[in-house]
Structure formats: structure tokens, C-alpha cells
């Protein structure tokens, strides 16, 4: 039996699609980026300090090496006139300079400059029918391969978010777009360990429900050993055996000629010997071809949206106006129906929309127009009450001030209208930096000079109200409406839109 047939048959034993677990060796293969040791060495070399000094002092304990280098790099950064004038708002701890430098390094790595054979591998991987991705990498390669997946950039974000567990990328050691999220030093790993119970529970669910394919890790990798240790410590032998049969490790082996080789290996975790399947390969093309041929009725990114909508529907406790019953003919053979689900409004025709079916996206579109194309009274009585139940950030002031019947307005609308102005500074990615942001920036224009639109979207709510020019804010929202339709930024866009609505129509 060929490798493809054997590997496919093993994955086909499981009812769910695989999860990819990507390590530094994955990015090293395609982007030429460094493993942990060489990444640290890069920045000791930049300071002209022998890396061996740190390695020997730390006994090759890489988090300890990271701590020692970050201490010296802090001095190096602030003694350099050019460096110290950059990323001021990211400077919140002693290790921030090194994390910013590492982030800038990964942000500058070309994502598409690949050799032809590697490019073919990635093109095949893009078609893979997988459930999601977990990675300890800081770079942006995973989200570039799977752009429709929702990205969670840190362990902290994972803990405080509602996960759909499909069509998602979990960057458990942080992301280069958020430098201070990076897990690098002893203190970072201690914090990671202290908060690990929630992550371990999530990973346990994933490992029990999905085959997991590790790419870019050694079987002896300490990160993986720690993760598996935290997952299995509460399991019995039967459960450990169930997880073990779902673990696949891909190892690069240049001596393998032709198809990859499947064999058995094992990893020792505490008192447990965990068997696993090892795949040795010189080229990963055959592996990715199997992943792209798996049976997946609904793409993961679409399934995530469906789950998110259903979750939202249940959360509102008011589904009456959001459900439609569709009858099957008596002749319908239900045994031949794979999936039966209806989401949305009857017919889905825009011209048939009523005030009970307008979405937050319709409200957002209308809000940025000077005229009133939607009837304020109808919105306040039929649309906004249900939207304000389901979503945290819905603009209401434009319509509230024009509604004919102000008496008996829904308490949800009133609550949305009467938020404290400090609410906008709370719960943001950059909330903890509000003081630094207001020291550095006195206007929206200033933020836009040094930040991408995506980052500015999340920084702007941290500005003091007197620093916000309404016209500048309006222009930004209009010019960047595309961010509203990007799952990563929808919530942040709606939050900023609500601030605009409050300032323009409700006063401060």
C-alpha cells in the first residue's frame, strides 16, 4: 500500500478533520527563519556579545538565555538614538526592546520568496481540509496560508475569547504583531505555566476529538513535552492511549528518497510512555496531498461562521425572529441528506429585508451617511433591541435622537446609549497602554502616521476624548470600511463606530 493510501486510511478512522501543530522547523523550512537558539543568538550577535556567554551562564536553558539577553538588550536599545525613538508605546517592561526587535525581524521576513518545490508544497497545503492550526511560532506564515481562519494572537486572548474550535489559529506563544504578547523569557514562561490550566483543557478537547499533526517539532522538543505533560496529567491509561493514536509527528529526513515513510515511535512523559506515529519525509508534498483529499463537507472557515451565528442565536434567548422553518417534501430521502441547516432570512433578498432582519452591518453602513435612509422609529422599536441583546457594540444615538416614541425604549438600547466614556478605553488590545498612547499621540492623524490601519483601529479608542477630531475619525471609518468585513477586526471596528456615533449624535 502506498504512503498516501496508508496515511489517508489512518486519518479516515477519525470522524473529524486534523489539527496542524506548527513549530519553528516549519517556518525554518519555508521562510528560512531561525529556531529558538539561533533567534536568541542573532540578537546577542547584534550587540557583539558572544552567545556562548549567555548559553553557559544559563546552562542552555533557553528561557533563561532569553532573560539574560533581554537585560543587556534593554541597555543596548536605549543607548541607540535611532532605536529608542521607535515603538515607544510598546516599551512597558524590561524585555520589551528585545521583543520589539524580534517582532520587527519576523515582520520583515518575505512570505512568498520560496523555491519552486517549496512553493508547490504550500499551494497544496492551502487546499488542506483541516479544522485549525495551533502554533508556537511568532511569524505570520500560518495566517497567510489560511487567510480565512480567525487568529487568536496569545494565550491571554484565548482565555478571554469565545472559541468556536474550528477555522481558528491559536498562537499560544504570541504574535509578532503584538510584541509584548511574545513568550520568550523565564517570567513569560512562568506566567504561561500559571495560566496553563485553561489552555490545557482546550488542548485536551482538541487532542481527544481530532488527529493532530505536528510539523516543525522534534519528538523530544521540550515545548511539546510540556504541553503533552499538562494535557495528560489528569487522564487514565485508556484516555492516554486514545490520544496517542491520534498523534502524528512529521520529521524532515533528507535520506528519504521518494514517498514519506510511516513508522512507530514513542515519547516519554513522566511515568507514561506515549506511542505515536512518525512520518519521515524529504518532501512534504505527499503529506499535504493527503490532507487536501480528506472528506470535509463544509470548509472550516464557513463552519466557524455557522457555529458563531448559532452560538449568538442561543445567547440572545430571543430566536423567534431569526428562525425559518423549511419543509421537506414527503418524498425527500433524509438518509441522503448530509447537512440540513438554515441560517439567515427567508429568501435572503436584500429588497425583501424588513426592520426585524437588519444586521449590525446594515446599521454600520447607514450610520456613516449624513442622511437618514433607515427610519429611526422603526429601528428603535424593531431592530436595535434584538441587536443590542446579541452584540456588545451597536451604534444607537443617530436613531435614538430622531425616534418619535422615546418612552418605553428598550433598556438594552438605553444601556448602549449611556455607556461611560471610559468604556472605550477598557477591554482593548492596547488598554494597558492608554497612558503611553496619550503621551505619544495627541490626535488621530498622529496615530495614523506610525501605525497600520488595522493597529490604529485598536489604538484610537484609547485616546482621550479631547484628542479625537470627529472629521478625522469619520474619514478613517469610511476609508477603512473593508475592516468591518474582516473577522479579525469586526468587533474593533464596531467599537470605534459606536464612539463616533456617541460623539457626533450623543455628545460626550
- Sequential DSSP letters for 223-291: HHHHHHHHHHTT--HHHHHHHHTTEEEEEE-TT--SS-EEEEEEEEETTEEEEEEEEEES--HHHHHHH
In a domain, 135, yes or no: yes
The pLDDT value recorded for residue 218 is 83
What confidence category does residue 202 fall into, taking pLDDT thresholds of 50, 70 and 90? confident
The pLDDT value recorded for residue 491 is 82
In a domain, 69, yes or no: yes
In a domain, 48, yes or no: yes
Find, among 363, 408, 416, the residue nearest to 388 by Cα: 416
Q: Quick one: 261 and 208 in the same domain?
A: yes
Average pLDDT, the chain: 84
More confident residue, 238 or 187: 187
What confidence category does residue 417 fall into, taking pLDDT thresholds of 50, 70 and 90? confident
Q: Quick one: 51 and 180 in the same domain?
A: no
In a domain, 292, yes or no: yes
What confidence category does residue 421 fall into, taking pLDDT thresholds of 50, 70 and 90? confident
More confident residue, 430 or 363: 363
The pLDDT value recorded for residue 63 is 94
Checking if the pLDDT of 30 tops 90, the result is yes
The pLDDT value recorded for residue 311 is 54
In a domain, 482, yes or no: yes
Q: Quick one: 63 and 166 in the same domain?
A: no
Q: Quick one: 365 and 478 in the same domain?
A: no
Q: Quick one: 410 and 477 in the same domain?
A: no
Contact 94, 215 (CB under 8 A): no
Contact 462, 433 (CB under 8 A): yes
The pLDDT value recorded for residue 279 is 96
Contact 463, 451 (CB under 8 A): no
**pLDDT per position as a tens digit, 279-324:** 999 999 999 999 999 876 667 767 666 666 665 555 554 444 444 4
Neighbouring CB atoms inside 10 A of 198's CB total: 12
Q: Domain boundary residue among 44, 78, 107?
A: 107
Q: How far apart (Å, rounded) are the C-alpha atoms in residues 252 and 279?
A: 8
The pLDDT value recorded for residue 350 is 42
Q: Quick one: 120 and 195 in the same domain?
A: yes
More confident residue, 245 or 48: 48
The pLDDT value recorded for residue 351 is 43
The pLDDT value recorded for residue 207 is 83
Q: What is the mean pLDDT of residues 210-217?
A: 93
Q: What is the mean pLDDT of residues 145-151?
A: 91
The pLDDT value recorded for residue 73 is 97
Polymer length of the chain? 508
Of the ranges 182-191, 219-228, 371-380, which one carries the lowest mean pLDDT score? 219-228
The pLDDT value recorded for residue 312 is 53
Of the ranges 225-239, 467-481, 492-506, which one carries the lowest mean pLDDT score? 225-239
Q: Quick one: 376 and 443 in the same domain?
A: no
The pLDDT value recorded for residue 409 is 80
Q: How far apart (Å, rounded) are the C-alpha atoms in residues 98 and 77?
A: 8
What confidence category does residue 32 fall into, taking pLDDT thresholds of 50, 70 and 90? very high
In a domain, 306, yes or no: no
Contact 215, 19 (CB under 8 A): no
| % of the chain exceeding 90 in pLDDT | 43
In a domain, 491, yes or no: yes
Report field, pTM of the whole predicted structure over 0.75:
no
Neighbouring CB atoms inside 10 A of 444's CB total: 21
The pLDDT value recorded for residue 344 is 46
Q: Quick one: 144 and 196 in the same domain?
A: yes
Q: Quick one: 53 and 126 in the same domain?
A: no
**pLDDT per position as a tens digit, 319-352:** 444 444 444 444 444 444 444 455 444 444 444 4
Q: Domain boundary residue among 56, 86, 107?
A: 107
Q: Quick one: 412 and 434 in the same domain?
A: no
The pLDDT value recorded for residue 408 is 67
What confidence category does residue 44 fall into, taking pLDDT thresholds of 50, 70 and 90? very high
Q: Quick one: 122 and 159 in the same domain?
A: yes
**Domain span including residue 372:** 317-417
The pLDDT value recorded for residue 215 is 96
More confident residue, 41 or 394: 41
Q: What is the mean pLDDT of residues 149-163?
A: 82
In a domain, 438, yes or no: yes
Lookup: cell for 204 = 485536551
**pLDDT per position as a tens digit, 169-191:** 999 999 999 999 999 999 999 98
Q: Quick one: 118 and 253 in the same domain?
A: yes
Contacts 24+ apart (CB under 8 A), 351-356: 354/382, 355/379, 355/381, 355/382, 355/383, 356/321, 356/382, 356/383, 356/386
Checking if the pLDDT of 213 tops 80, the result is yes
Checking if the pLDDT of 449 tops 50, the result is yes
**In the chain, how many domains are there?**
4
Checking if the pLDDT of 239 tops 50, the result is yes
**End-to-end CA distance of the chain, in Å?**
71
Q: Cα dist. 262→1, 4, 9, 135, 302 in Å?
A: 11, 10, 12, 23, 32
Q: Domain boundary residue among 107, 126, 142?
A: 107
The pLDDT value recorded for residue 164 is 76
**pLDDT per position as a tens digit, 61-105:** 999 999 999 999 999 999 998 898 888 889 999 999 999 999 999
The pLDDT value recorded for residue 310 is 60
Amino acid at each position: 500500500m502506498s504512503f498516501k493510501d496508508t496515511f489517508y486510511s489512518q486519518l479516515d478512522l477519525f470522524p473529524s478533520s486534523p489539527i496542524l501543530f506548527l513549530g519553528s522547523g516549519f517556518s525554518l523550512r519555508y521562510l528560512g527563519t531561525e529556531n529558538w537558539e539561533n533567534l536568541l543568538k542573532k540578537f546577542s550577535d547584534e550587540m557583539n556579545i558572544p552567545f556562548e556567554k549567555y548559553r553557559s551562564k544559563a546552562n542552555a536553558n533557553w528561557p533563561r538565555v532569553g532573560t539574560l539577553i533581554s537585560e543587556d538588550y534593554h541597555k543596548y536599545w536605549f543607548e541607540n538614538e535611532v532605536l529608542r525613538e521607535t515603538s515607544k508605546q510598546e516599551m512597558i517592561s524590561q524585555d520589551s526592546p528585545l521583543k520589539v526587535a524580534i517582532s520587527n525581524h519576523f515582520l520583515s521576513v518575505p512570505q512568498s520568496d520560496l523555491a519552486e518545490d517549496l512553493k508547490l508544497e504550500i499551494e497544496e497545503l492551502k487546499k488542506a481540509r483541516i479544522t485549525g492550526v495551533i502554533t508556537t511560532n511568532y511569524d505570520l506564515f500560518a495566517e497567510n496560508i489560511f487567510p480565512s481562519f480567525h487568529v487568536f494572537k496569545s494565550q491571554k486572548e484565548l482565555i478571554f475569547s469565545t472559541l468556536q474550535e474550528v477555522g481558528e489559529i491559536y498562537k499560544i506563544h504570541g504574535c509578532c504583531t503584538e510584541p509584548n504578547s511574545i513568550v520568550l523569557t523565564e517570567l513569560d514562561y512562568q506566567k504561561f505555566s500559571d495560566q496553563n490550566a485553561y489552555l490545557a483543557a482546550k488542548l485536551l478537547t482538541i487532542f481527544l476529538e481530532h488527529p493532530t499533526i505536528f510539523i516543525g517539532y522534534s519528538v523530544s522538543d521540550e515545548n511539546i513535552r510540556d504541553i503533552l505533560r499538562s494535557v495528560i496529567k489528569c487522564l487514565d491509561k485508556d484516555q492516554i492511549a486514545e490520544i496517542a493514536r491520534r498523534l502524528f509527528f512529521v520529521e524532515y529526513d533528507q535520506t528519504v528518497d521518494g514517498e514519506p515513510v510511516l513508522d512507530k515511535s514513542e515519547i516519554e512523559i513522566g511515568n507514561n510512555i506515549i506511542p505515536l506515529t512518525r512520518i519521515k519525509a524529504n518532501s512534504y508534498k505527499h503529506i499535504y496531498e493527503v490532507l487536501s483529499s480528506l472528506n470535509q463537507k463544509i470548509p472550516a472557515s464557513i463552519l466557524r461562521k455557522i457555529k458563531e451565528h448559532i452560538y449568538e442565536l442561543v445567547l440572545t434567548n430571543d430566536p423567534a425572529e431569526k428562525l425559518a422553518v423549511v419543509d421537506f417534501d414527503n418524498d425527500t430521502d433524509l438518509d441522503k441528506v448530509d447537512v440540513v441547516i438554515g441560517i439567515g432570512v427567508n429568501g435572503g433578498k436584500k429588497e425583501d429585508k424588513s426592520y426585524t432582519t437588519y444586521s449590525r452591518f446594515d446599521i454600520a453602513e447607514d450610520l456613516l451617511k449624513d442622511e437618514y435612509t433607515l427610519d429611526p422609529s422603526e429601528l428603535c422599536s424593531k431592530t436595535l433591541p434584538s441587536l443590542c441583546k446579541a452584540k456588545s457594540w451597536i451604534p444607537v444615538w443617530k436613531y435614538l435622537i430622531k425616534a418619535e416614541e422615546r418612552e418605553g425604549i428598550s433598556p438594552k438600547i438605553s444601556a448602549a446609549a449611556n455607556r461611560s466614556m471610559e468604556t472605550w478605553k477598557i477591554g482593548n488590545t492596547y488598554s494597558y497602554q492608554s497612558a503611553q498612547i496619550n503621551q505619544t499621540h495627541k490626535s488621530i492623524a498622529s496615530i495614523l502616521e506610525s501605525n497600520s490601519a488595522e493597529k490604529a483601529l485598536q489604538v484610537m479608542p484609547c485616546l482621550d476624548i479631547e484628542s479625537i477630531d470627529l472629521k478625522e475619525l469619520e474619514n478613517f471609518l469610511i476609508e477603512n470600511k473593508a475592516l468591518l468585513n474582516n473577522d479579525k477586526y469586526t468587533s474593533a471596528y464596531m467599537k470605534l463606530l459606536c464612539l463616533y456615533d456617541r460623539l457626533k449624535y450623543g455628545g460626550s
